[in-house]
Chains A and B, each alone.
Chain A
Amino acid sequence: MLNLEVMGSSLPLYFGGVVVTLKLLAVSLIVGLLAAVPLAVLRASPNVWLSRPVWLFTYVFRGTPLLVQLFLIYYGLAQFSWVRESVLWPWFSSAWFCSMFAFALNTCAYTTEIIAGAISATHHGEVEAARAMGMSPFTLYRRIVLPSALRRALPAYSNEVIMMLHGTSLASIVTLMDITGAAREVNSRYYLPFEAFITAAGFYLALTFVLVGLFHLAEKRWLVHLAPRT
């Protein structure tokens, strides 16, 4: 029933796709997370002049589909001649850069909200105790709030990472050959959509399995104090 010969012979294409998908995922997650931590601190600040701009950023990027963001950045910006003549064009002309840029901004917005939520939920007693010890706001965040908040954000963040893995499949529409791009190529070459996309689904499942496993280990290591008692 399934054309196993085609599935087997197209595997190298998928392995190339896995490398592209993982590259996109890793770069956008690292950039997104690094930017999200300071943004989350601002977002959780009681000062509206600090929290509102960050709120606006997360609102815009969580309130629009990733596909629309990618189209705006890849095709939309290229429409303006001043963008094409600017010093940034070598970057924005590349499908790689545009995809990573869009994905990083998108995951950054979600991660900011996840971490900001965890920061606001920090137990008031811990903050008071730290203040009573005479910690400066900076030390308070570095020693007490962030280590605790980042740990508590882990389960929600693992969801975000998996959603982002699936989000990278959009890169195939701006000509990148990720796992989905490989599937489209196989489909177009042999006209076997089921074989093409079931293989892609298998690769995504395997990657998700690994990611879930990694987060399970991370939670065991850093979140053990919140694990249910047996």
Chain B
Amino acid sequence: MKKTLFPALLCLLFSAVSAGAQEGRKIRIGVEGAYPPFSSIGPDGKLKGFDIDITNALCEQMKAQCTMVQQEFDGMIPSLQARKIDAVIASMSITEERQRVVDFSDKYYRTPARFVAKKNSGLKVDPAGLKGKRIGVQRTTTHDRFATDTFKESEIVRYAKQDDVFLDLAAGRLDGALLDWIAASEGFLKAPAGKDFSFQGPIYVDFKYFGVGAGIALRKGDTDLKNQFNAAIKAIRANGVYKKIQDKYFDFDVFGN
């Protein structure tokens, strides 16, 4: 009896292991849910947006079992380091500062930054013109760093969520906001609250601040996952899935070059 049971158990064990390998790795992915149109929560309470669709497409491509963990942006990198999540897909720009603490996949999109203010504000968007003005940014973002270093004479007001910046912009608590072009146009200017607002001043593409685009943040040294994500990004770019998702949200090439 014993003799037959042991090899049988061994077989069972091996088959379980190989089945696990086929289903792919379990990945917990940090997403934000407050950064439309990239990531937001729909009326049904479900996550939706460009980041979310890309996440689903990448996971499908990698045949990985993904769970999305929704949390605030400024806690993403700490959570990643604390192993609460394994990857961040939250429109996170690849910057030198962040690369010191995390690894990044290749970019999955790239958009420049813009300044948004009331249509008839008459503001001159440069350090002198914005002296003493209140500029809203989302804390820890590339826009925060850029605004803090560029508009030294202005009051930089930092928020945990981009949605809160929009609320205070519409309420008139801010003179303007510095943010991502698309987040502004899709998330605010096209919404009823943003009808009196428009883009003002130049298009900011400063490489030092805004980096090469948004990538997937991973723990330092997680090369295996990084290679998987890079391959998956290439694959969905090639097979048309990326374009399908892009066309759902934007009428231009969001991948950038």
- The reply on B160 being an interface residue by CB < 8 A is yes
Closest Cβ of chain A to B24, distance in Å, is 29
* A75: B residues at CB distance < 8 A: 164, 167-168, 171
- The reply on A160 being an interface residue by CB < 8 A is no
* B81–A191 CB distance below 8 A: yes
* A187–B164 CB distance below 8 A: no
Chain B residue, CB-CB nearest to A188:
B140
* A residues 56-113 in Cβ contact with B at 8 Å: 75, 78-79, 84, 93, 95
In whole angstroms, how far apart are the Cα atoms of A140 and B220 in the complex?
Answer: 72
Q: 1/0 per residue A125-149: CB within 8 Å of B?
A: 0000000000000000000000000
Chain B residue, CB-CB nearest to A189:
B140
* A93–B78 CB distance below 8 A: no
Closest Cβ of chain B to A6, distance in Å, is 13
* B82: A residues at CB distance < 8 A: 193
In whole angstroms, how far apart are the Cα atoms of A53 and B139 in the complex?
Answer: 42
Please pick, from A79, A93, A184, the residue contacting B74 in the complex, using a CB distance under 8 A. Answer: A184
- The reply on A173 being an interface residue by CB < 8 A is yes
* B77–A191 CB distance below 8 A: yes
How many residue pairs link A and B with beta carbons under 8 A? The number is 39
* A187–B78 CB distance below 8 A: yes
Closest Cβ of chain B to A229, distance in Å, is 53
* A78–B168 CB distance below 8 A: yes
- The reply on A175 being an interface residue by CB < 8 A is yes
Given A75-B164, A173-B160, A184-B139, are A191 and B173 also a contact pair (CB < 8 Å)?
no
Q: 1/0 per residue A183-208: CB within 8 Å of B?
A: 01101110101000000000000000
* B172–A191 CB distance below 8 A: no
In whole angstroms, how far apart are the Cα atoms of A184 and B75 in the complex?
Answer: 9
* B74–A187 CB distance below 8 A: yes
- The reply on B13 being an interface residue by CB < 8 A is no
**Further contacts, 17 of them, CB under 8 A, given A79-B171, A93-B173, A193-B82:** A75-B168, A75-B171, A84-B171, A95-B173, A175-B157, A175-B158, A175-B159, A184-B74, A184-B160, A185-B139, A185-B158, A188-B74, A188-B144, A191-B77, A191-B78, A191-B101, A193-B78
Interface residues in chain B, defined as those with a beta carbon under 8 Å from any beta carbon in chain A: 74-75, 77-78, 81-82, 101, 139-140, 144, 157-160, 164, 167-168, 170-173
Interface residues in chain A, defined as those with a beta carbon under 8 Å from any beta carbon in chain B: 75, 78-79, 84, 93, 95, 173, 175, 184-185, 187-189, 191, 193
